[in-house]
Amino acid sequence: MIFARQVFISYAHLDNQPLGADQTGWVSLFHSTLQTLLSQRLGSVADIWRDDKLHGNDDFSNEILDQLAGTAVFVSILTPRYLKSEWCKKEILSFCQQAEDRHSLMVGNKARIIKVLKLPVEEGSDLPPVVGRLLGYDFYEVDEERVPHELDPAYGDRPRQAFLRKANKLAWDLAAQLTELQRPSPASAETNEAPAEKPAVFLAECSRDRREARDSIASELACCGFRVLPEARLPDDEDEYLATVGALLETCVLSIHLVGTGYGRVPDGDRQQSVVVLQNELAAARSRSHGLRRVIWLPGGIASAQSAQQAFLHALQTDAALQHGADVVSGDLETAKSAIHTALKPPAPPPAEVPAGAGRVHLVCDANDRKAIVPLIKRLRGRGLEVSLPVFVGDAAQVRETNRQLALDCDAILLYYGAGDEAWKYHQQNDLRKLLGSPRARPLKASLTLLAEPPGDDKEILQALAEPDVLDALDGIGDTTLAPLFAALGLSETP
């Protein structure tokens, strides 16, 4: 599509009055910042226009109409004053009407309107319906007393940094949209086909204390070419919300959940559960049914003063079903980002076919067990089995992914319960249960727990229960002890 101008900024002039005589108006600052950032992202000078005249009771000018007709993207800076301004409403209504007349208000899955919220507003029926469906860019924050403040550098360094982060995200998104709008249509293109788009990623809604991190992750994924969902405001009705999120998850290869201290908004419905809880539940179900990969950022030691959120935090850390298919990350934001990028890497090629009669056992153990397991490894290798061991040292995300692949690329998993304590055993078993639902290059024939020294109360209970998937080696390891493993792998009890 061909446009005479890239961006039109629509705003109320009252919102550009500076807080002090020696300061720049907020809209002017927004314009100049966006101009610089967008130009850098495009690699050429961005064409951004706004009307700086005070109109009073003037008629809606032909100049404005001409600018709107040739504009690629309309940026609306919403404030209480904007909603009361007949002039502003004329601008946005006129842009939508002209775009719809040309069948181009929505191009692909993107609206050609960007909603910038300088302050929170209650959007009424005077604005086009598409505006209410947009997510928008919040250029304000709410303090401890629930009072909103626009992100204005005049308020200090922290608001200045937040303003620049928001402007940076907007610039990246705008650059991607303008590039797409200005790409030649398939009928007129004479060059080779455009490269295939990267898959979609579901970045779950989160509580207020994780929004800054969510914006950072969304920007980074967009810069890498991934489509980040949701792209529009999700419904307030619970049934509609569940249906919409479920449909979005069907199109994604990864879902990301950033768990904070707040419970989050609650859709209107019978369940009265927050969007954070509902999205995790839907993603876990999609993981069970279709192998959706997930990353949950659950910082260690996190707690909430809200009882509902604290209950969810406890459930998320103790219920394996809520973690299904997820890599649970407890480090900082950069650790979470590393896990996300690792999860988005193309799957490794399937391993070479294993010769007939051979088998591969993945031995899960605590780092302190590495010397104690040497006799076990020799016994297994003596039966012609390949043995893999966990990786303990390296980048946290890479260690997790390597150990995940080792557990997926084997015929049997043997959990060596020796130096590790009860909590270690629980978390290892929890991780292994989640892996059972993941696609595998080779079928898993056995998943067993081997009890080894030192003795302990928990091990004595497991010894007394004598469950079939528990091997008792507290008095030493012999072929009889390993008989269930050998049988599962098609080997006789003795050589």
Strand partners, 4: none
**Which residue, among 19, 45, 124, 44, has the nearest Cα to 80 in the 3D structure?**
124
The confidence score (pLDDT) of residue 191 equals 46
Domain boundary among 280, 312, 346: 346
Give a yes or no: residue 354 inside a domain.
no
Contacts with 274 (C-beta within 8 Å, 6 or more apart), sequence order: 207, 263, 264, 265, 266, 308, 309, 312
Domain boundary among 292, 324, 346: 346
Q: If residue 177 lies in a helix (H) or strand (E), which one and from where to where?
A: helix 157-181
Same domain (yes/no): 85, 179: yes
Same domain (yes/no): 338, 365: no
The confidence score (pLDDT) of residue 55 equals 53
User: Rounded distance, CA 397 to CA 341, Å?
Assistant: 9
Same domain (yes/no): 296, 398: no
> The CATH number of the domain where 428 resides is what?
3.40.50.450
Give a yes or no: residue 494 inside a domain.
no
Q: What is the distance of C-alpha 133 from the center of its chain?
A: 21
User: Rounded distance, CA 287 to CA 326, Å?
Assistant: 8
Strand partners, 75: 9, 114
Same domain (yes/no): 342, 372: no
Give a yes or no: residue 477 inside a domain.
yes
- Number of independent structural domains in the chain: 3
Same domain (yes/no): 202, 156: no
> The CATH number of the domain where 224 resides is what?
3.40.50.10140
The confidence score (pLDDT) of residue 437 equals 66
Same domain (yes/no): 214, 268: yes
Domain of residue 105: give its range: 1-191
The confidence score (pLDDT) of residue 494 equals 61
Dihedral angle, C-alpha 256, 259, 262, 265, nearest 10 °: 20
The confidence score (pLDDT) of residue 59 equals 52
Same domain (yes/no): 180, 246: no
Q: What is the DSSP string of 425-450?
A: HHHHHHHHHHHTTS--SS---EEEEE
The confidence score (pLDDT) of residue 347 equals 61
Mean pLDDT, consecutive 10-residue stretches, the chain (495 aa), reads: 87 88 88 94 90 59 73 93 89 88 77 91 79 87 83 88 90 87 59 62 92 88 86 90 95 95 92 95 92 90 92 89 87 88 73 58 94 92 91 79 88 94 88 75 88 93 91 87 90 67
User: Rounded distance, CA 366 to CA 11, Å?
Assistant: 61
The dihedral built from the CA positions of residue 281, 283, 284 and 285, taken in this order, carries a sign that is positive
Give a yes or no: residue 352 inside a domain.
no
Q: What is the DSSP string of 459-477?
A: HHHHHHHT-TTEEE-TT--
Give a yes or no: residue 395 inside a domain.
yes
CA angle 491, 494, 495 (to 5 degrees): 80
The confidence score (pLDDT) of residue 33 equals 95
Same domain (yes/no): 479, 332: no
Domain boundary among 346, 381, 405: 346
